[in-house]
Structures are given as structure tokens and as C-alpha cells.
Structure 1
């Protein structure tokens, strides 16, 4: 029997719990109104999870969690106050509202403060297939983690282990505000992973792999995860450095999404109104090649960040972030939008599912097309300046010759400027890493500065 399908029977009381949280949110809104608040919003959440870790065939930790949180924000005109609690007793809830009101009375007016506009609230709530709880017992989770690690350690060249894990989590959340909006959400997330060590002494190398998904049937088999972790670790043995120079660089899918992350940071409202972004006043300008596109798909079925509404209740919709290489808009909630004289883009709380369109094939075909250059599979350090766009990070991966991997490399630094890097993207692959809400394959840049020790 495939261990990943093992489960025990359980009772799903999530809808009942959501209604209880919704009732709490309404009582808190009424209390805020009675205390004189002109506007108010409440976020309620309840999370449950199980996380086990094993190492060298032995159980290290088993952690079961059950957390809840209630956050209240009130507005007296344009003065804002917030308070939170995890206690559901009436006295604690009343005290939380009173504390938020007291804070608001002592703050300064902020012209951008307040709820998102009422007419922007979501009114339809489709089922986005994000609720797939896994009734996994601690014993079953331990078995999955042990099977994953054992598969990885089966190769005699694997000298040690950093451990394996299996985890499952589910979350219930309610957001409500004084516009009359109330939104409910259920989500689940599961993962299995393994990190291994190969070699001895100064020649040791560490790598690993993990699988994660909303539904357990979308997880990779734990044995396959362990074997892939071993393959990745062994491939890194006997690395070399590289001479300093300008070379093509192919970011593997698992590192390519960091480039999209830098774009998101630069076009987020907070960075823009603080004027701490290298992409100030860039909406409507060409940042990428004319074939390049990024779409936001918040209503995607079983998407990792799917939702009919954002963190302020604003209705989400499919929209382009980049089209024909042109930045179409920023990433804004209502506060940052007001600071910029714009309208929210329904991104309070962050972006939803992003899809970067491919114009090339899988990684093998991209390596072939690159010919000679660097494949980056790991990035280290935080050497990115969000104000100037200057980029310098430690990296490891593989040197490629004639379209084939020649040998592993580490101890190198790759450098450039993000604006120039964006414009020099030559290809995006179809080899998407499904473990992120940023859906992107490998990204090939025409040239970057690579600095090594040779």
C-alpha cells in the first residue's frame, strides 16, 4: 500500500467552526460600533497542524499545534488602533476592542487610513478547491518521514542526514468589516521533505528535496522524494569554482521564482510610497522583452494562494501584472493605494497565484539552447539593494558545456542589476516548480558577472 494515501477517519467540523468565528467577528464589530468607532474590521483564525521530524532512523520531534487568533482594528475618523487576543472569553474579547479603541484615540490622523471602499467588497465566493484536510496520525507521519529518509540513505555515498519531515496543516479564517462584508476561508497544506549529506570532511555537500501541496494526492511519493534528495546531494560532490567573467546564467525553476520575488518587492505599495524602490514610476514602461508576461490568477482551482477576496475583503479578479514586457500595474492594498493616489489592486496581504508565461521547453532543452554557461540551483545571502536594484548573491550549481552539465560549482558570486537582468531575460521554461504560488519555469539570462576563486 502506498503510504501517502494512509489516513484515519475523522469528523470535519470546519463549517461549524467557521460560523462560530463569524459570530465572534460580528459581536466584535457591534462592540466597536457601540464604543464610537466609525469603522472596524476583524480577522479571526484557527490553525491546526502536525509536524514530525526524524533523523538517522530515529524520531526527533513530534509537534501537534492548535492556535487561534483574533485581531481587531478600529477607526475613529482617520485615527487607527489595533489589538489582538487568543482568548475567546467574552471578557477578553471586550477588553481587546476597548484596547483598540483606546489606542485609536491617542494616535494621529492618517489621511490614508480606513477600510477599503465599500463598493469594492467581494460579493461572490466560488469554491476554489483549497480544502483537503488529511487526518494523519503521528504514527503515520513518522512512517512517512522514515520511509523518505531511508530511501535517501540507501545509497552508500550518502554519509549523513539532516533529517526528514512530514507535516500537515489546516487553517480556518474569517474576515469581516463594518461595511457588512464577511468572508470565510478554509485551506490545507501538506509536505514531506528530506535533507542529506554526502562525502567526508571538507568535501561534504548537503542538499535535499521536498514536496508540498494542498491535497495529499498531489504530493510526491516519500520514497521518490528521498531518492531525489540523494541524487541532488550526490550531484554536488567535488565542486569547482569558476574564473571571473560574463557568462549566460540559467536559474533553475526553484531559484527563478526569487527573481519574480524581487520584482514584486519593487512594485509593492509600501516600497513605492516610501520611495525605496528601483522601479519608482515604472507602471506602463517596458521592463522585460516584448514576449514576457506575468498573470495573476486568484480564482485558480486548487491554487496555493487562491481567494475570492484579499485581506481587506476586496474582490479579486484575474489580471495582468506584466504584458508584452510592460509593467501594467503595481501591487497595492487600499492604504498604499491612497498614499500613491491610486486604487487598490486587491493585493492587501500579498499577491495571489502568479503565472509566468513560458516561451521555451523543459530544462534540458534550455541547457541545450544555452550551450555554455552556469546553471544556478542554489542562492545564498541577501545581497539585493531594493533602492538601486543592484544584485550580488552567493550561488551554487553546475557548469554547462555544449548543452550538457559538466561539473558542479560553488563558492561563486553572481552579480548584476535587476533592471538590466529583467531586460536581458532570453527564455522561460516549461519546467515549473509546483511548490510555490509563483508558477515559473527556469529563466535564462543572456549574461551576468560570475566571480569565483579561479
Structure 2
């Protein structure tokens, strides 16, 4: 853990290329946005901001070898927020005609004239606006026919059903591909937009053995189709995970170490992001209130975001306020170094925006040297959690209580599946008692982490 975390994945902080904001692809949306802002000015607004989006996609679902749904999507929308001093109003529409644009602006202005003043309502500082729109390689359209998409989804499900004779049913497989354009601008003169794509595939199946039936799934997601996991491998992984859960047992109530599988550990990172989100902080509804500069993790922990990661699932050249995004540490040396702030929450807290309107982007934790088997050995005797259920996280107190299933481990070896238990603790204590983070990050998603070993939690069962 001696590398600089933000560069430890071998990625450049940003590509030097920028997106042509006057390209034919963006020109139409840019004109609509300029019309919105001009109309707001004509209506007497002291400031305004707007976002315009246009997207299309294809979604296919199959079950037991038959097509269940085929859906072509085409969505567009615009939203305008106007400011009359520190009074604000917002409106939206999916109609891009000049008349509809004017009507949306007028509705927003009428609302603003009747709202109370809020000293923090307004645009972010003009000096913080993004000076350029970096090309982060987010746009990789997939020219996929309905027939080809169907064949891939069926191949995915067929692979799952053929993996093991204990796979007795299927909830189906699905494939999706989406592309879109988004452009944001405000009366500071900032206007920026970029195209992006996202593709995905998933499969869920049911297994049976004796009196036990279990269901599990797997998925893949990427900006570019050639970076998706193969359809057959997605299906096989869904089957492997399902079959492994058969024969689950319950446990007696006890306290023991808990190892969160990597994809579940990502939810703990997201809980951290929620606790240091400016909206929760200024409302005083976070268990990490007033913890800036204090140690909340062991000293080896580094947690950071990489908003300029090429092809990153959450990459963005600017945030929802138009501010230039930048790589940063939220936790370094175990200490909380930064909150997650947009312009409004920063103002309410008397701080400066961290360019996180829309949340952290490509949130990650520095991973250790232990693979999955080594993490199980490090766990020793305890619970390896592979599924979490419910939403039992209290952001005000940090209390954590969720239904769980997984595997009981003794002397570093899996003994049997476990089901119908509850794990409980407190997030602040869990963060402080983080023992190790594995290098076994094997799932898709924008939040990147290996498995987490937490020293001790309550496991409630029989």
C-alpha cells in the first residue's frame, strides 16, 4: 500500500483531448440550451442554469429460451432553474419546441417570484467552472440488431442452465445498450456537453437440491461492448454462484469476524460517501458530523475518486454545477480529508464545493496484496458474506443491521453455506476495525474495492 492510490491502477488522470462543443452531434442540444438561458434573461432572471439530454437504447429480456420483452427507448428532456437574486424556481419538459421552451422558463420564473429567499441559492463561482470538456473516451455505440441481441441473451441463459444439473429454472437473461448526449450550461457563460454509452448483460437462475432452492445472478457492464464479459461466462458465473448456495444452514447468535465479498464491500464505501455528503452534513443527519481531519479508518486506508478515468462508468469532465472535476482523496492515512460537496451544500457549511454535484465519481479504496483465498485465511473462523438484504443502515447513528447469507469459514476454509442470519454493528466502529482489504475486485461497477474484513460483528441467527 505504498503506491499513490489515485495512480495505482495504471490509469492516466485524464486524456489531453477535448470534445468539440460545436460538433454536429452536440449542436442541436446546445442551441436548445442557449435558447433556454436567453429566455430566462429576457424574463428578468438574474441567473439561470439548464441541462438538456437526449438518449436512446435497446433492452432485450429472454426466459427459457424465449423472448419476453423487446424495448426500444428514446428519451429526451430539459430542465431549467432560474434565480431572482436568492429566490429560485425550476421547471422541466420533454418538448423541445420554441413554445415549450419559453413555457418552461416562464413557469420556473413564476415559481421563483413566489419563493422565499435562500442565501445559498445561486450558481457556483464562475472561476470554478470547467475551462474545457475533456474527452474521457465514454462514447462507444454498439450497432446491435434485435436478432443479435436476442442471440446473445439466449446464449447467456443457455450457458447458465447447462452449467449444472441442479439448475432447474431460470429468471431469465437480459441485454441492454444505451447511448446519449448531455449538455449543461449556465449564465456564467459555461456550456459543456459530451456523448456517452453504457452496455450491460445479466442472468439469474434457480437451483434445487433436496429441499433447498436458491437463486442468484451475475452481470457485466461497460462503456464499450468489447469490454463486456462474454455472454456464456456471465451465465456460467450466475449458475456457479447459485449452486454454491445450496444446502444453507442457520447459525446460532454469536460475535465473529465478518468478510464482505468485494461487490458487497462496495456498499460500505457508498455508505461512507453518504455519511460525508454535504446534504446530510448540513442537515446534521450523519454519524460522521464534524469528523473532517479526524481518523475514521486505520492509518493504511486510502479512499479516493478518479473522475477522469478513461471509459470509467462514473467518469465526467464536470459536475452537475459545471465545475471541473478532479481526482481527490476523501480519506488518506485513515483520516477524513474531504467531504462530498456540491455548491449549495458547501455554502450551507461555509465551505467550498469539491465539484461533487452528482456524488463521487469512480470511488475506490487502495487494495491490499491478499487474494480471495488469502482473505479467507485471514478471516480464520467467521462469516463470509455473499448477499445482503434490506436497507438497515441508519445514517444518523451509523447503526448497521442487515439480513445476510454466505458461508461459514473455519481455519480459513469454507465449511458450509449460511442463510437467514442478520449481521449487526455500527459503521463508525466497522470502519475503525477494518482489518484488511483484498485485491479480489472481480465485479463490474463504478465503485471499486476488494473484499473487506471487519474484525468483529454480531451475527444473529437461531
Q: Is the 8 A contact 1:159 1:200 kept in 2?
A: no
Q: Is the 8 A contact 1:433 1:439 kept in 2?
A: no
Does 2:70 match 1:62? yes
Distance between the aligned counterparts of 1:306 and 1:40, measured in 2?
25
Distance between the aligned counterparts of 1:111 and 1:223, measured in 2?
56
Distance between the aligned counterparts of 1:387 and 1:109, measured in 2?
28
Q: Deviations over 1:363-399 (max 9, x none)?
A: 1111122221111111001111111111000001111
Gaps of 5+ in 2: 1-21
Does 2:147 match 1:164? no
Q: Is the 8 A contact 1:74 1:82 kept in 2?
A: yes
* Deviation for aligned residue 1:402: 1.9
Determine which of 115, 123, 132 is the counterpart of 2:140: 132
Q: Which residue of 2 aligns with 1:3?
A: none
**Residues 319-358 of structure 1 correspond to what in structure 2 (within 5 A)?**
319-358=328-367
Determine which of 231, 240, 259 is the counterpart of 1:222: 231
Distance between the aligned counterparts of 1:334 and 1:433, measured in 2?
35
Determine which of 77, 92, 97 is the counterpart of 1:84: 92
Distance between the aligned counterparts of 1:320 and 1:297, measured in 2?
9
Does 2:404 match 1:387? no
Gaps of 5+ in 1: 1-13
Calculate the TM-score normalised by the size of structure 2.
0.94
**Residues 33-432 of structure 1 correspond to what in structure 2 (within 5 A)?**
33-154=41-162, 155-199=164-208, 203-432=212-441
Q: Is the 8 A contact 1:360 1:427 kept in 2?
A: no
Distance between the aligned counterparts of 1:195 and 1:315, measured in 2?
39
Q: Relative to 1, partners in 2 of residues 1:156 and 1:15: Cα closer, same or farther, differing over 3 Å?
A: farther
| 3-state SS, counterpart of residue 292 of structure 1 | coil
Cα RMSD (Å): 1.2
* Deviation for aligned residue 1:213: 0.7
* Deviation for aligned residue 1:275: 0.6
Distance between the aligned counterparts of 1:46 and 1:437, measured in 2?
22
Q: Relative to 1, partners in 2 of residues 1:20 and 1:374: Cα closer, same or farther, differing over 3 Å?
A: same
| 3-state SS, counterpart of residue 330 of structure 1 | coil
Calculate the TM-score normalised by the size of structure 1.
0.95
* Deviation for aligned residue 1:207: 0.3
Q: Is the 8 A contact 2:263 2:443 kept in 1?
A: no
* Deviation for aligned residue 1:242: 1.0
Distance between the aligned counterparts of 1:48 and 1:434, measured in 2?
26
Show structure 1 runs of 4+ deviating over 3 A. none
Q: Which residue of 2 aligns with 1:30?
A: 38
* Deviation for aligned residue 1:16: 2.3
Distance between the aligned counterparts of 1:25 and 1:339, measured in 2?
28
- The count of corresponding residues between Structure 1 and Structure 2 is 440
Distance between the aligned counterparts of 1:293 and 1:299, measured in 2?
18
